[in-house]
Amino acid sequence: MQLVFLGKFGELAPKGLASPTLPDDVRTLADLKDWIAGQAPVLGKAMALTTTRVAVNRALVHDLSRPVRADDEIAFLPPMSGG
Amino acid sequence: MQLVFLGKFGELAPKGLASPTLPDDVRTLADLKDWIAGQAPVLGKAMALTTTRVAVNRALVHDLSRPVRADDEIAFLPPMSGG
Amino acid sequence: MDIRITAAPFDPHAECAAFAADRADAGALVSFVGLCRQETAGRAVTGLTIDHYEGFTQTQIADLAADVARRYRVPDLLVIHRIGPILPGEAIVLVAALSTHRGAAFEAVQVLMDYLKTDAPLWKKETGPDGARWVEPRQDDRLRRAALENQA
Amino acid sequence: MDIRITAAPFDPHAECAAFAADRADAGALVSFVGLCRQETAGRAVTGLTIDHYEGFTQTQIADLAADVARRYRVPDLLVIHRIGPILPGEAIVLVAALSTHRGAAFEAVQVLMDYLKTDAPLWKKETGPDGARWVEPRQDDRLRRAALENQA
């Protein structure tokens, strides 16, 4: 599994989180967010305090009960500020 | 007095109308319009059938009871189509 | 504010570039270019000729622009309008606005274009294979103009 | 439709010129250029850095543009967006639309800009004398976006 942290999340994410080894009880995207907050509390707090969008394999996913798979690339996106 | 006919009015106006010799009873802009219609009926009809704006000495004038003076430049403007 | 009428073809993109050059204080540039089309409403167009009133057209357009600049607080406006004969593909008009934020710049350019369509002393004649015809203001331009009047 | 993200500076005026070249079928070109300002809300800005998500940002922007093209019937859209480090005065974004008439082109460019502000996967960081800060979406951009959602 690959994790991608964009924008300000990228600055707060410890390097080691990019290719994490997850415990068996991390089954869904919601579980993964909780696990990240435990591993990197500052990042977890930033993600909780703002609107965080999640993309799985480069498609936005709104249902965080979606199971995570070993070959997923999962990205966490803070509020966008293009243009 | 100079008369200026813009846009399609310019094509309908006889040359001689540019520097007219007006009879004494043409005292106002309204009189002038009537006199033009008598001199050049096709032009007069075109001016009557559309919204004709009048500029005196390069300023729009809305009150056609304004007197005309020998040194005026009076322009007749059909609906504008710029842009 | 830079308001010009010109009988010579102009490059609207080069003019925009010059207008925005060295303006790192402005965040937004909105521009509109009206191009001479090769057909309109199904009729082929071989060219346009725009009549103007010397000594009046430029000042009237400057007045319209000043009004829009004041109303939308966008002082940095550029208007270039062709007069005389114009070929298909050539620019007829360029309106551009520089502003700190985009909302005001969009509004200023749009409203100024609305005014130019109905209130700039310019008269457009289209030439095609069947001859020439003077262009009447479009119904939707007149309605837009009336709506502006009600807001003002 | 031409949708690009680029790490290299680009000339928005030259891009507009290329976009509109040989398009005598189109009567209206509307364009918006967002420029890197030298100050924002009273703070000096020495530069911007825009983060993106490789393989995702471009396709998302293309989806937003396709949606706007379909909704406003303006298929001819150009979007160029910078990523990476940007200096004051440089163009950040260009959005342009070619159309037969101006109303649809104005709407398409404005709405696409609204979407880019809130829905394009790009993250802007401003650098100034006091350090760097990530830019949060402006309140008025969020409201504009919500209004679009209600229309859709």
Phi-psi category of residue C55: left, alpha or beta, with phi > 0 → left and psi -120 to 50 → alpha: left
Output the pLDDT for position C40.
84
For range D7-21, the mean pLDDT: 97
For range C104-109, the mean pLDDT: 97
- In chain B the beta strands, taken as DSSP E runs, fall at 2-5, 53-56, 59-61, 73-77
C32 close contact with D: CB closer than 8 A: yes
Output the pLDDT for position D152.
56
Asked if B82 and C117 come within 8 Å (Cβ–Cβ), the reply is yes
Output the pLDDT for position D33.
98
Give CB contacts under 8 A, 24+ apart, made by D62-67: D62/D1, D62/D3, D64/D112, D64/D115, D64/D116, D64/D119, D64/D120, D65/D1, D65/D3, D65/D112, D66/D1, D67/D115
Output the pLDDT for position A72.
98
- Nearest by CB to residue D124, choosing from A10, A75, A81, is A81
Residue C23 has pLDDT above 90, yes or no: no
What percent of chain C clears pLDDT 90, i.e. is strictly above it? Answer: 82
Asked if B82 and C53 come within 8 Å (Cβ–Cβ), the reply is no
Q: Give pLDDT tens digits for A53-70.
A: 999 999 999 999 999 999
Residue C141 has pLDDT above 80, yes or no: no
**CA angle, C7 then C11 then C17, to 5°:** 130
ipTM: 0.91
pTM: 0.92
Q: Give pLDDT tens digits for B24-49.
A: 999 999 999 999 999 999 999 999 99
Which range among A20-24, C38-42, C72-76 shows the weakest confidence by mean pLDDT?
C38-42
Output the pLDDT for position A33.
97
Query: Helix D57-72 vs helix D102-119: angle between axes, to the nearest 10 degrees?
Result: 150
Collect all residues of chain D within an 8 Å Cβ-Cβ radius of residue C35: 20, 23-24, 26-29
Q: Give pLDDT tens digits for A1-16.
A: 999 999 999 999 999 9
Residue C152 has pLDDT above 60, yes or no: no
CA pair distance D120, D107, nearest whole angstrom:
18
CA pair distance D51, D83, nearest whole angstrom:
6
